[in-house]
């Protein structure tokens, strides 16, 4: 057990720093490419032949269906043939889909292109590559860096989409995405380090047997439904709101002037809400956010119900309030999933969570297009308000977890031959709530109470 008393380095190695920033950049490039048409496509979708509101919504959201269906299979494929090969395939599919969409004059061609874009489901493979390139005790920092790049990509896409549409056509945005995908491939093979070996890790990879058990975890299911609902609403909002801004007199290439200050102002509300939730009242913050999002739908629909044209100022207010609660939920939900996931099941729990997220984007795009074309913007906003009420009732029974974390502890050669003694020792450690030893990985997964747990050796928080 001498190995367990070794000190743990606190800093990232140069190789780990390079892996962190390069993988974050690749992830950001990819997500910007998928998101960049979100704030503008509904404005220009009717320029394509055969377009209808439903087909425009399908073109916006179809990528989410492919992401939801293929993310876990791509992650498992990367265990077999290698991370970089799978990531390269995914980025080539993103580039190919972008070229198809950029070259299309029919809405059906754009739908095929967006389908190909979404079929490059490389999120799990990128996370697994990050795990291969980092030590256990440093993995949290690298994963946090990649996670932050996703949020930044969304914000960047909201600004770049309306800004660049003034210089390029909608086809130009697709060509830009194709070019950026090729740049990401170049970064992957010139900057990202090569891992010594690819190995399955329960903190980043999904296990189908484990996932079946997670579907019966009532609190995790509530969070999976929550991220589904959140991304349904995000996609639906960015179908309807750009049209509302246009009708209020805001030109498409100036709509970024609405989104940028709305995002900046939202942080002033988001940060205190996150602190309040983490320290005192997590469930209250979640319910407040959902209630606020429901009221936002009524704010969007109110003037239309009264027969009054919505003003740019009113829409700006609604978007700002929506961002306040949306960003808060985006920050809190994955943290809660991580804390609630059983030991050695974090990768599977996050796989279900991410699949739910992308499926919400698909349903949001298709549903928004259908509702907008059938019952108009008032019907769309009213439907989302009703969905928020259903969501609110569902989450009312949510039980926030204690300050729990999962730690991954590498096993020494001696410990591999005395697992029962090690299991008893770890279970007796103050603060340890659950222990799972994964012999195939050579690690022990510990679920711990952060307030009482003192690290006995080289463990890394996940």
CATH, residue 454: 3.30.70
Q: What's the predicted TM-score (pTM) here?
A: 0.85
Q: Which residue has the higher pLDDT, 426 or 14?
A: 14
Assess whether 344 and 433 both reside in one domain.
Answer: no
Band the pLDDT of 336: cuts 50, 70, 90.
confident
Query: Residue 167: phi, psi to the nearest 5?
Result: -105, -35
Of the ranges 302-316, 344-358, 423-437, which is most confident? 344-358
Assess whether 47 and 186 both reside in one domain.
Answer: yes
Q: Is residue 296 pLDDT above 90, yes or no? A: yes
Assess whether 47 and 75 both reside in one domain.
Answer: yes
148-206 pLDDT tens trace: 788 888 889 988 999 898 888 899 999 999 999 999 999 999 999 888 776 666 666 66
31-63 pLDDT tens trace: 898 889 999 999 998 889 999 999 999 999 999
Tokens 């239309």 belong to 304
Q: Would you state the pLDDT for residue 293? A: 94
Q: Which residue has the higher pLDDT, 443 or 43?
A: 43
Assess whether 447 and 366 both reside in one domain.
Answer: no
For residues 383 and 377, give the distance between their C-alpha atoms in angstroms, rounded to a whole number. Answer: 10
Assess whether 229 and 131 both reside in one domain.
Answer: no
Last residue of a domain, one of 401, 426, 442: 401
Q: Kindly state whether residue 321 falls inside one of the protein's structural domains.
A: yes
Q: Kindly state whether residue 9 falls inside one of the protein's structural domains.
A: no
Residue range 342-349: mean pLDDT, rounded: 76
For residues 216 and 208, give the distance between their C-alpha atoms in angstroms, rounded to a whole number. Answer: 14
Assess whether 395 and 348 both reside in one domain.
Answer: yes
Q: Would you state the pLDDT for residue 204? A: 65
> 106 is in which domain, residue-wise?
14-205
Q: Would you state the pLDDT for residue 340? A: 84
Assess whether 394 and 319 both reside in one domain.
Answer: yes
Assess whether 252 and 285 both reside in one domain.
Answer: yes
Closest CA to 457 of 5, 149, 44: 5
Q: Kindly state whether residue 5 falls inside one of the protein's structural domains.
A: no
Q: Would you state the pLDDT for residue 307? A: 59
Q: Average pLDDT over the chain, rounded to whole?
A: 85
Q: Kindly state whether residue 8 falls inside one of the protein's structural domains.
A: no
Q: Would you state the pLDDT for residue 350? A: 83
Last residue of a domain, one of 401, 423, 449: 401
Band the pLDDT of 394: cuts 50, 70, 90.
very high
Give 184's contacts (C-beta < 8 A, 6+ positions apart): 25, 26, 29, 30, 91
Assess whether 270 and 373 both reside in one domain.
Answer: yes
Q: Which residue has the higher pLDDT, 9 or 130?
A: 130
Q: Kindly state whether residue 122 falls inside one of the protein's structural domains.
A: yes
Q: Is residue 458 pLDDT above 60, yes or no? A: no
Assess whether 172 and 252 both reside in one domain.
Answer: no
Residue range 346-355: mean pLDDT, rounded: 84
Q: Would you state the pLDDT for residue 219? A: 92
Last residue of a domain, one of 205, 222, 250: 205
Secondary structure of the chain as H, E, C letters: CHHHHCCCCCCCCHHHHHHHHHHHHHHHHHHHHHHCCCCCHHHHHHHCECCCHHHHHHHHHHHHHHHHHHHHHHHHHHHHHCHHHHHHHHHHHHHHHHHHHHCCCEHHHHHHHHHHHHHCCCHHHHHHHHHHCCCHHHHHHHHHHHHHHHHHHHHHHHHHHHHHCCCCCHHHHHHHHHHHHHHHHHHHHHCCCCCCCCCCCCCCCCCHHHHHHHCCCHHHHHHHHHHHHHHHHHHHHHHHHHHHHHHCCCCHHHCHHHHHHHHHHHHHHHHHHHHHHHHCCHHHHHHHHHHHHHHHHHHHHHHHHCCCCCCHHHHHHHHHHHHHHHHHHHHHHHHHHHHHCCCCCHHHHHHHHHHHHHHHHHHHHHHHHHHHHHHHHHHHHHHHHHHHHHHHHHHCCCCCCCCEEEEEEECCHHHHCCHHHHHHHHHCCCCEEEEEEECCCCEEEEEEECCCCCCCCCEEEC
Q: Is residue 429 pLDDT above 60, yes or no? A: yes
Q: Kindly state whether residue 297 falls inside one of the protein's structural domains.
A: yes
The dihedral over CA atoms of 187, 29, 100, 354, expressed in degrees to the nearest 10, equals 110
Q: Would you state the pLDDT for residue 378? A: 92
For residues 87 and 56, give the distance between their C-alpha atoms in angstroms, rounded to a whole number. Answer: 28
Band the pLDDT of 143: cuts 50, 70, 90.
confident
Of the ranges 122-136, 239-253, 369-383, 436-450, which is most confident? 369-383
Q: What are the Cα distances from residue 404, in Å, to 339, 342, 350, 444, 452?
A: 5, 10, 16, 16, 10
| Number of domains making up the chain | 3
For residues 301 and 289, give the distance between their C-alpha atoms in angstroms, rounded to a whole number. Answer: 19
Residue range 274-279: mean pLDDT, rounded: 87
Structure tokens at 162: 């309306």
Q: Which residue has the higher pLDDT, 340 or 390?
A: 390
Residue range 418-435: mean pLDDT, rounded: 72
The distance in angstroms from the start CA to the end CA of the chain is: 23
Q: Kindly state whether residue 286 falls inside one of the protein's structural domains.
A: yes
Q: Which residue has the higher pLDDT, 76 or 345?
A: 76
Assess whether 67 and 128 both reside in one domain.
Answer: yes
Band the pLDDT of 331: cuts 50, 70, 90.
confident
Q: Is residue 126 pLDDT above 90, yes or no? A: no
Q: Do 92 and 185 contact (CB within 8 A), yes or no?
A: yes
Of the ranges 144-153, 283-292, 301-310, 425-434, which is most confident? 283-292
203-250 pLDDT tens trace: 666 667 777 788 888 999 999 999 999 999 999 999 999 999 998 888
Q: Which residue has the higher pLDDT, 181 or 423?
A: 181
Band the pLDDT of 462: cuts 50, 70, 90.
low
Assess whether 343 and 437 both reside in one domain.
Answer: no
Q: Do 310 and 248 contact (CB within 8 A), yes or no?
A: yes
Q: Kindly state whether residue 450 falls inside one of the protein's structural domains.
A: yes
The dihedral over CA atoms of 428, 3, 454, 405, expressed in degrees to the nearest 10, equals -90
- CATH number of the CATH domain containing 214: 1.20.1250.20
Structure tokens at 419: 């697992």
């Amino acid at each position: 057990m001498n190995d367990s008393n070794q000190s743990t380095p606190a800093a990232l190695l140069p190789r780990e720093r390079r892996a962190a920033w390069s993988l974050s950049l690749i992830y950001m490039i990819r997500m910007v490419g998928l998101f960049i048409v979100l704030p503008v496509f509904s404005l220009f979708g009717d320029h394509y032949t055969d377009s209808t509101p439903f087909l425009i919504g399908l073109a916006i959201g179809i990528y989410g269906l492919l992401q939801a269906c293929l993310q876990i299979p791509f992650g498992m494929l990367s265990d077999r043939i290698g991370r970089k090969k799978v990531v390269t395939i995914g980025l080539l599919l993103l580039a190919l889909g972008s070229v198809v969409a950029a070259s299309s004059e029919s809405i059906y061609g754009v739908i095929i292109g967006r389908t190909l874009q979404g079929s490059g489901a490389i999120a799990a493979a990128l996370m697994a590559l990050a795990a291969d390139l980092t030590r256990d005790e440093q993995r949290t920092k690298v994963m946090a860096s990649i996670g932050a790049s996703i949020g930044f990509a969304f914000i960047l896409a909201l600004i770049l989409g309306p800004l660049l549409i003034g210089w390029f056509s909608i086809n130009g945005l697709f060509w830009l995405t194709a070019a950026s995908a090729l740049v990401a491939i170049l970064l992957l093979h010139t900057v990202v380090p090569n891992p010594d070996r690819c190995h399955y890790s329960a903190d980043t990879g999904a296990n189908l047997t484990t996932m079946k058990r997670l579907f019966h975890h009532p609190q995790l299911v509530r969070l999976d439904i929550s991220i589904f609902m959140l991304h349904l609403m995000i996609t639906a909002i960015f179908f309807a709101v750009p049209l509302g801004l246009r009708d209020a007199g805001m030109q498409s290439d100036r709509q970024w002037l609405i989104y940028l200050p709305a995002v900046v102002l939202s942080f002033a509300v988001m940060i205190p809400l996150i602190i309040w939730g983490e320290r005192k009242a997590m469930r209250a913050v979640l319910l407040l956010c959902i209630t606020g999002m429901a009221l936002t739908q009524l704010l969007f629909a109110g003037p239309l119900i009264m027969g009054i044209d919505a003003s740019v100022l009113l829409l700006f207010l609604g978007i700002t309030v929506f961002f306040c609660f949306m960003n808060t939920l985006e920050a809190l939900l994955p943290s809660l999933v991580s804390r609630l996931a059983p030991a050695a099941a974090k990768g599977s729990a996050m796989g279900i969570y991410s699949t739910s997220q992308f499926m919400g984007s698909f349903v949001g795009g298709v549903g928004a297009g259908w509702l907008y074309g059938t019952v108009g913007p008032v019907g769309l906003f009213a439907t989302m308000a009703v969905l928020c009420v259903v969501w609110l009732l569902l989450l009312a029974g949510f039980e926030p977890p204690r300050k729990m974390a999962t730690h991954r502890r590498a096993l020494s050669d001696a410990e591999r031959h005395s697992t029962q003694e090690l299991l008893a020792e770890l279970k007796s450690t103050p603060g340890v709530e659950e222990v799972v030893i994964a012999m195939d990985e050579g690690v022990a997964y510990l679920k711990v109470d952060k307030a009482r747990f003192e690290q006995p050796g080289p463990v890394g928080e996940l």
